[in-house]
Structure 1
């Protein structure tokens, strides 16, 4: 027994050391990636989280005076600059009131539990690839007492008949616009209107997960307030598209927002001071929001150039999804493992100063297939079709693939891998 106990203890120590080594390796790799991306002269998008603390603070200090009176007092528990952000966001979305939250996870839990109390039904209909189902550790059920049903499992938002024919009653329909995990995809305007009407026919409220709602206007051909008006409440994020530090806003009817603020306090979201996040959000509304339509338009150019360049390469098949992006973000699928693709992308950044792809992932992919997300923002506007082709050529060269065969049966792939 003593020998067995010693053996178990030894195995536990080895496992702990292996986990520690893995964490250290991942941290080293992260620093390597950040250094390469920061040093790159050419990128399609430069994320705020790629910057050093001093750079981020300096940029905020330089821009903040353009959007708010810096002689005003700092906020305390949500007044001052936070209230101004809430007011401006509510106005942009066409709602009478809004509440600032430290995270979208908290904002949406609060919104849906408030609606559950009003409808008397704690069931939420949403897509299985929606953010709460994939990235929030079952927070809806574990923390907020909500349960979910899924009108569809197709890699798109649900259709009107799927909502209308859902075999379980639900009090709220939650729609993520765009649906990120499926490729930042959106329905057509008429389809969205029909889905909302189908939910209303079932006496359900409609909530938009609008973390990236800001860039949806070009696809729908409608202003933000008209899009938001379809829903009973809307959540928007400030760091995903607007380059803010953090934070989210829940917008909706005044009574709902007052109740949401009470729950925000209960959930631990009543922070003492939030002026850096609020100021960076205001800067994003002022600077980035007007530029988003140009990003969306150029993403279509970049996606088309990627399609042509990858098809002309030695890669047996590739997939741009959606083929014509709905927003300024889209997916690229390739038939290789993440280790090979990530090393090729990173060495390209380090050796050429050009970052084409950032990180590749395999969860949810078939064996031997990986996917990456491409974002086109301000610096991406400078890329021409020739620039994209040259970057693809450099990337493929680092994959060390065999020579191009005479015929490649997989080149014309049209479906999702």
Structure 2
């Protein structure tokens, strides 16, 4: 689809949304917006252990210098969590994905990558893999789901690598079954292709697969994970893989301009996110099913997928996006109840006249009961109709 529901309608200034949601007493989707002062306070508080499981960090140590020190601490920890020999911090996922795909292209001698047309490099990275690295893409399927092993075997073009986005965000945060994933990877191996996981949201996929992170990443040659999409970090992510892969990735990070002098704020927030969010993700995913079921009972609503595969899913309603945005902001401003971020009208076949938002069940959503969600939606729809 290529939409970004978190941005909301262009007619609503970001400042109004930020203020309304930050002051709200209750928040159903996502995390509460924080100011610059809030984030600085959070980082300063990391000097002492907190009550929510975040460890203490020595803030009297020197800052990192071109990726050493605390930045290296984060890389080692992520490699251990993912069960890979090593990992390297990247300031952006766009840069990390380019580095990974380029490495596999050069090793295989084939600059063609098999990926989905809804994959992040196609939709949200301005096709940097093609413009900057000279790579080509082939699509095993255009259906709004991950490709099957059969589709990959029937692909009439040779490719050097397969990129699998887990979960596939634009299709509704969809995940395959474990058997489907293993078979897809096996089909890529039959073709002699390397396998790269775009695991920006891989952290929350373990419950669906009923596998640990190392078990999931073991099927791939390399994996990218994000530090801000789920963990609440400031920015950045990491590439993990074999030692020689990571050494090459470091070289490409430098060439692409990602060898930052200091990156300790992003690193500290990532470490805190690993401490705070990873232990709670299973709870988020479980409660997302409760939230989705309550929202599905709203007249005219459609939840997809049902039940959700992770703690994120799509909610569709048969109203204009601009009206939904305004009603949501009024509910937050007038009653202190913030339900959803922005809405968009992607014009999906069979859903004409419907708008969509992405629902993210995080810590603040855990206190919501189905009855409270239903009551809040009644108030939301009343504002919409007025």
Q: TM-score, normalised by structure 1?
A: 0.86
Output the aligned Cα RMSD.
1.5
Per-residue deviation, residues 238-293 of structure 1 (Å, max 9, x unmatched): 00000000011000011111011011001000000000100110001111111000
Q: How far did 1:346 drift?
A: 1.1
**Partner residue of 1:409?**
none
**Are 2:26 and 1:42 equivalent residues in the alignment?**
yes
* Matches of 2:30 and 2:309, distance apart in 1: 20
Per-residue deviation, residues 374-411 of structure 1 (Å, max 9, x unmatched): 0110010000011110111011111217xxxxxxxxxx
**Partner residue of 1:279?**
268
Q: Which has the higher contact order (CA 8 A, sep 6+)?
A: 2
**Are 2:377 and 1:392 equivalent residues in the alignment?**
yes
**Are 2:225 and 1:236 equivalent residues in the alignment?**
yes
**Partner residue of 1:86?**
75
Counterpart selection for 1:358 from 341, 360, 363: 341
Does the CA-based 8 Å contact 1:74-1:80 persist in structure 2? Answer: yes
Q: How far did 1:133 drift?
A: 0.4
When Rg is computed on C-alpha atoms for both structures, the one with the higher figure is 1
**Partner residue of 1:383?**
368
**Partner residue of 2:210?**
221
Alignment of 1:133-172 (within 5 A): 133-172=122-161
Per-residue deviation, residues 37-95 of structure 1 (Å, max 9, x unmatched): 001111024536x2110011101211355343223211000000000000000010011
* Matches of 1:340 and 1:365, distance apart in 2: 19
Per-residue deviation, residues 325-365 of structure 1 (Å, max 9, x unmatched): 00000001122221111111111111111111211012353
Alignment of 1:11-160 (within 5 A): 29-47=13-31, 50-63=33-46, 65=48, 66-160=55-149
Does the CA-based 8 Å contact 1:305-1:385 persist in structure 2? Answer: yes
Does the CA-based 8 Å contact 1:152-1:158 persist in structure 2? Answer: yes
Structure 1 unpaired stretches of 5+:
1-24, 312-316, 402-417
Paired residues, number: 370
Per-residue deviation, residues 161-214 of structure 1 (Å, max 9, x unmatched): 011111111111000000001000101111111100010011001000000000
* Matches of 2:142 and 2:347, distance apart in 1: 13
Does the CA-based 8 Å contact 1:67-1:286 persist in structure 2? Answer: no
* Matches of 1:202 and 1:227, distance apart in 2: 21
Alignment of 1:186-197 (within 5 A): 186-197=175-186
Alignment of 1:290-369 (within 5 A): 290-308=279-297, 310-311=298-299, 317-365=300-348, 367-369=352-354
**Partner residue of 1:207?**
196
**Partner residue of 1:21?**
none
Q: How far did 1:27 drift?
A: 8.8
* Matches of 1:289 and 1:192, distance apart in 2: 23
Q: Which deviates more, 125-134 or 65-74? A: 65-74
Does the CA-based 8 Å contact 2:203-2:230 persist in structure 1? Answer: yes
* Matches of 2:64 and 2:291, distance apart in 1: 42
Per the alignment, do residues 301 and 363 of structure 1 end up closer, same or farther by CA in structure 2, a change over 3 Å counting? same
**Partner residue of 2:3?**
none
Does the CA-based 8 Å contact 1:64-1:283 persist in structure 2? Answer: no
Does the CA-based 8 Å contact 1:64-1:280 persist in structure 2? Answer: no
* Matches of 2:170 and 2:83, distance apart in 1: 28
* Matches of 1:60 and 1:183, distance apart in 2: 33
* Matches of 2:19 and 2:88, distance apart in 1: 36
Q: Secondary structure at the match of 1:63?
A: helix
